[in-house]
Amino acid sequence: MAITSPEKRVWWNEPLHRPEVIWITIAFLWGLLMFGMMVYWHVAGRQNLSNEAYKVFPEKFAEKVEDMVAKYKVREEGATKIPVVRPPPGSDVYVLSRLWEWWPILELEKGATYRLHLSSMDWQHGFSLQPVNINIQVHPGYDLVLSITPDKAGEYTIVCNEFCGIGHHQMIGKIHVVDKK
């Protein structure tokens, strides 16, 4: 028993009991199986998107987001007048996270593919896209890039799902997906 001191000081040379060997073997094989499943599900499962990640300075990332907003802003929404941008299909689109907002609101076309970039200006946030349940951790200093093709028109909500302080519960963003006209 682990809560009593070992009888011999050099306990690690004692032979293993059979049940212990069996359990270690089972745990090891299970671990190998689970490891294999990560690879298998990556290919075969309906997993969360796999991303690319690049190092980026927060200010540089913010510049790119602001460029996109300046070019493709179509209107503003809500009391805080958050810009809604409609970048061309196939382009690089950006959402930044900071205490405590997702900025700006993207308006994407159904069926078009975009490269979505996510990064944080301060500390870690969680990008949880509802109701489709996509979850991505968003870190400062990293540009996470996801290839996305929205397949259903509607309004999607970004919920921050990493606790990030007093405004965490209010950190809610939006992505619109529209049918092309």
Contacts with ligand CUA by CB under 6 A lie at: 100, 125, 160, 162-164, 168, 171
Q: Token pair for residue 45?
A: 């499962």
| Beta carbon nearer to ligand CUA, 13 or 133 | 133
| Beta carbon nearer to ligand CUA, 125 or 174 | 125
Q: Token pair for residue 85?
A: 């941008």
Strand partners, 106: 85, 175
Any idea of the CA torsion for 171, 107, 89, 45, to the nearest 10 degrees? 50
Q: How far is the CB of 62 from ligand CUA (least distance, A)?
A: 16
Q: How far is the CB of 164 from ligand CUA (least distance, A)?
A: 3
Q: How far is the CB of 64 from ligand CUA (least distance, A)?
A: 20
Q: How many whole angstroms separate alpha carbon 33 and alpha carbon 39?
A: 10
Q: How far is the CB of 60 from ligand CUA (least distance, A)?
A: 21
Q: How many whole angstroms separate alpha carbon 42 and alpha carbon 50?
A: 8
Give the type of residue at 58. Answer: P
- Cα–Cα nearest to 56, from 144, 141, 151: 141
| Beta carbon nearer to ligand CUA, 87 or 95 | 95
| Beta carbon nearer to ligand CUA, 117 or 125 | 125
